[in-house]
């Protein structure tokens, strides 16, 4: 463990309730090794499983990972197909969720995905619904603006049907209409790979999140890096607009 030689250990630290990760840098990781981009995504997927298991082990309540954005469809078809196939393999391996006590939920425009993936997703969610460990959100065909648009439309429909008044639309009712309804907002957002942007990720929910950036490419991001990020999080002074 990272803190072996130091006084600090994870147990002396406050864990964020909710960590969100942008799993970036798979392509560059592959390029550095003269491998196809698909090898980067396979390595990224393996790392995702390791990090999710680690988060479960340390008792994290919520982890949200960005697997595929509404903008990622612009990539070459071969790459999109490759990511979807990685996802299929992961979903078919249902014990990923059941035996590990991880409760999985997919956030994003899921119904627009291929039928077999939608079926596997609903099956995986159903199979893990009683799990009491980590709540794992996988953002797939996800866009923050798309999510907010979806929430506004569902609220507008309720107003149109006379089920609610415009005055009843509050920050809370908007939060309750997002894919992450009922979950705490992310406290801590991690983006490896040297990019310093949010890329349409959890844009409503991240209003008061702390950010952690690093040059490490996602397949190389280990539990030790996560420990270091959590240590840094503990040095932040979160004021939520107060003093």
- If binding is defined by CB under 6 A, does position 98 make contact with ligand FPP? no
SS3 93: coil
- Catalytic residue check, 72: yes
Site of tokens 């980590």: 134
Signed CA dihedral, 139, 20, 168, 146: sign only: negative
Minimum separation from the CB atom of position 184 to ligand FPP (A): 21
- Catalytic residue check, 26: no
From candidates 15, 38, 44, 56, binder to ligand FPP by CB under 6 A: 44
- DSSP state, residue 17: S
Minimum separation from the CB atom of position 232 to ligand FPP (A): 23
- If binding is defined by CB under 6 A, does position 67 make contact with ligand FPP? yes
Q: Which stretch binds ligand FPP (CB under 6 A): 85-93, 100-108, 200-208, 226-234?
A: 85-93
Distance CA 217, CA 191 (A): 9
Signed CA dihedral, 112, 114, 120, 123: sign only: positive
Residue nearest to ligand FPP (CB): 27
Residues ≥6 apart with Cβ < 8 Å to 78: none
From candidates 19, 20, 83, 190, binder to ligand FPP by CB under 6 A: 83
Residue 192, token pair as written in the block: 């490896």
Minimum separation from the CB atom of position 225 to ligand FPP (A): 16
**Binding-site residue total for ligand FPP (CB under 6 A)?**
17
Distance CA 13, CA 141 (A): 34
Q: How many residues does the chain have?
A: 243
Signed CA dihedral, 189, 44, 51, 93: sign only: positive
Out of 47, 56, 72, 101, pick the active-site residue: 72
Residue 39, token pair as written in the block: 């090898």
Minimum separation from the CB atom of position 44 to ligand FPP (A): 3
Please give the residues from 14 up to 33 whose contact with ligand FPP meets the rule CB under 6 A: 23-28
- For binding to ligand FPP (CB under 6 A), which residues are involved? 23-28, 41, 44-45, 48, 67, 72, 83, 86-87, 90, 138
Give the residue numbers annotated as catalytic, written as ranges.
Answer: 24, 72
């Amino acid at each position: 463990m990272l803190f072996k030689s130091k006084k600090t250990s994870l147990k002396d630290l406050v864990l964020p309730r909710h960590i969100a990760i942008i799993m970036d840098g798979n392509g560059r990781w592959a390029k550095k090794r003269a491998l196809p981009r698909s090898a980067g995504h396979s390595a990224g997927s393996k790392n995702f499983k390791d990090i999710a298991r680690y988060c479960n082990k340390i008792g994290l309540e919520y982890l949200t990972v960005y697997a595929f954005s509404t903008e990622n469809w612009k990539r070459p078809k071969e790459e999109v197909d490759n990511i979807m196939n990685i996802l299929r393999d992961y979903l078919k391996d249902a014990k990923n969720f059941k035996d590990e006590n991880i409760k999985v939920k997919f956030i994003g425009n899921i119904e627009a995905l291929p039928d077999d993936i939608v079926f596997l997703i609903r099956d995986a969610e159903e199979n893990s619904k009683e799990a009491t460990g980590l709540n794992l959100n996988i953002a797939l065909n996800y866009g923050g603006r798309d999510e907010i648009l979806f929430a506004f439309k569902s609220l507008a429909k309720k107003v149109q049907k006379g089920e609610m008044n415009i005055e009843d639309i509050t920050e809370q009712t908007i939060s309750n209409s997002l894919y992450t309804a009922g979950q705490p907002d992310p406290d801590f957002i991690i983006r490896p790979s040297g990019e310093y942007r949010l890329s349409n990720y959890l844009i409503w929910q991240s209003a008061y999140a702390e950010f952690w950036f690093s040059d490490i490419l996602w397949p190389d991001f280990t539990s030790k890096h996560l420990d270091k990020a959590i240590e840094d999080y503990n040095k932040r002074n979160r004021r939520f607009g107060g003093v």
